[in-house]
Amino acid sequence: MALLALLDEGPTHGFDLKRRYDALLGHERELKYGQVYSTLQRLERDGLAAGVGIEAGGGADRKLYAITAQGVTELDQWLTTPDPVSGRPAEVFTRVVLALVSGRDADQVLEAHRRAFLDRMRVLTARRHAGDVVDRLAGDYEVAHLDADLRWIELASVRLKDIAEKVRATGSKGTDA
């Protein structure tokens, strides 16, 4: 869907789409060319994009694509329809529970993650004047998520002693959980 949104800027070919995607949204996870071309073929098959010619001097990979009217409708709908909100816990949650269940020191697990998350947040804060406005937005997004994880770590640290025994009992052999 992201490629469809970029096609909405005007007709272009796969190579430029990849460059545009990486610059705007890549952030340490760039698109592969294979993904771009297979996505464009799928968009064309579904009637959301259409081939509108070949760029002069180019080969098959210089095929120009444009968004269709159906594609615009689909894009508008996608942008304003949130994904189902999942309560999927982060890896740190899993490790804390497993540390508690196995009778290990969950405080150490929390402190190690707290340190790593805060270090990452510090790197992002130091970089806040680097890059363009989209980089800044991506940095703010990551900082906000790290902040949420760190708040949970703080909360868990305070509550750990109270819950350690209960967690050990939950799901242990001989219970129904």
C-beta of 133 vs 177, nearer to another protein: 133
How many residues contact another protein, by CB under 8 A?
Answer: 22
25 lies in the site for another protein, by CB under 8 A: no
List 63's β-bridge partners, or say none.
54
> CA–CA distance from 93 to each of 33, 87, 106, 141 (Å)?
36, 12, 10, 20
Q: How far apart are the first and last CA of the chain?
A: 41
Among 151, 165, 169, 171, binds another protein (CB under 8 A): 151
124 binds another protein (CB under 8 A): yes
- What would the 3-class secondary structure string for 34-63 be? HHHHHHHHHHHHCCCEEEEEECCCCCHHHE
Residue 104 sits in the site that holds another protein (CB under 8 A): no
Binding site for another protein (CB under 8 A): 111, 114-115, 117-118, 121-122, 124-130, 143, 146-147, 150-151, 154, 157-158
